[in-house]
Amino acid sequence: MRRFLERLLGLDRRWIFLFVLLSVAIPIIVPIGLPVTTTESTRKAFDFIEALKPGDTILISFDYGPSSAPENDPMAEAVMRQCALRKIRFIVIALYPLGGLNLANNAVAKVVSEFPDLKDGTDYVNLGYKDGASAVMRRMGDDIAGAFPTDQKGTPLSQIPIMKGIASLRQVQLVFTVATGIIGEWWITQVHPQSGTPVIIGPTAVSAPKYYAFLNSGQLVGMLGGMKGAAEYEKLIRARYPEMARFYTTTHDFTATKGMDGQTVMHLIVLLFILLGNSAFLLSRRGAPR
């Protein structure tokens, strides 16, 4: 045993990479279906949207790029599906320069194909991307058409039914920012104090810890923290709307719930290596001359 642990100290790290690769790949091929427990921050977000009335409008801001899509895509899709089921209208924008718009287009197209009754311009609208996120938010606080004169297809906002009666962010019932980096924080620290519009954030796991402070201070309604938060939201949606299970049980599509299998197995592997590595280190120190 001692010799085995000593050999571990000199282990080529590429073996660890291989273990990590296999621990993530195998659950994708053979889903395990490990249980997902929900947290209060995700339940609050879910309940807030559930409490909105049919015909209310929320703004969904795609503030992330392809690099964090595995975490953020499932959040955006889950919330849009919930909106479609609850007849809540949604306005889509993208403020992240590198790929935010493409991800928004893909997510909207996917959800619209799942809910063919959704009508562009009436039930939802995609306003596209705008550069300079902070200045865009400032402008939207007073005048959305000033920041987005047209939708993605070039239709002026005055001719879009969903935008009737929505001149500024004060007239939307919620901002849901699916975010990586600083843009999500600006919705909380800049838009919320100016317009009073409630904010829910779906950050990447890397940025999630800092948002707990905003959650505790009441500046955020709820939060979906990383892939775990997205998986929790998927669970809540499936529990409330059993017919939605068809989107989350397929083996040929990616879901956060499925991703959490890989996460859990990989975390166990990392824990195992931490234990083995530290044991080997302590044993080697004990045997070394003082």
Partner 1 sequence: MTLPPIGVWIAAFLTISALSFLYKDNPFFRFAESLFAGVSLGYYIGITLDQTLVPNLIEPLAHDFGKNWDLVVPGLLGLMLYMRYVPKIGWVSRYALAIYVTYYIGLDFTRRIHGEAMPQVARIIQPVFGPNPLAFVFVIGVLSVLVYFFFSREQGPVTRRISRLGIWFLMISFGAAFGFTVMGRVALLIGRLNFLILDWIYPILGI
Residues lying near partner 1 in the complex (CB under 8 A) are found at: 14, 17, 20-21, 24-25, 28-29, 67-71, 97-99, 101, 128-132, 134-135, 138, 147, 149-150, 154, 186, 188-190, 192-193, 204-206, 208-210, 213-214, 216-219, 225-228, 252-254, 259, 262-263, 266-267, 270
In the bound state with partner 1, the residue whose beta carbon lies nearer, of 54 and 154, is: 154
In the bound state with partner 1, the residue whose beta carbon lies nearer, of 5 and 20, is: 20
Q: Which residues contact 115 (CB under 8 A, 6 or more apart)?
A: 81, 84
In the bound state with partner 1, the residue whose beta carbon lies nearer, of 8 and 26, is: 26
Name the burial class of residue 127, with classes exposed (0-12), middle (13-18) and buried (19+) by CB atoms within 10 angstroms of its CB: buried
CB of residue 90 to partner 1, shortest distance in Å: 19
Q: Which residues contact 47 (CB under 8 A, 6 or more apart)?
A: 222
Question: In degrees, to the nearest 5, what angle opens at C-alpha 184 toward C-alphas 182 and 188?
Answer: 110
In the bound state with partner 1, the residue whose beta carbon lies nearer, of 9 and 182, is: 182
- The whole-angstrom separation of Cα 81 and Cα 237 is 9
- The whole-angstrom separation of Cα 179 and Cα 197 is 17
CB of residue 162 to partner 1, shortest distance in Å: 19
Coil/strand/helix, residue 1: coil
The first and second tokens of residue 240, run together, are 């409330």
CB of residue 290 to partner 1, shortest distance in Å: 28
CB of residue 70 to partner 1, shortest distance in Å: 3
Q: How many CB atoms lie within 10 A of CB 193?
A: 10
In the bound state with partner 1, the residue whose beta carbon lies nearer, of 83 and 101, is: 101
CB of residue 191 to partner 1, shortest distance in Å: 9
- The whole-angstrom separation of Cα 257 and Cα 261 is 7
- The whole-angstrom separation of Cα 62 and Cα 90 is 12
In the bound state with partner 1, the residue whose beta carbon lies nearer, of 88 and 201, is: 201
Q: How many CB atoms lie within 10 A of CB 165?
A: 8
CB of residue 147 to partner 1, shortest distance in Å: 8
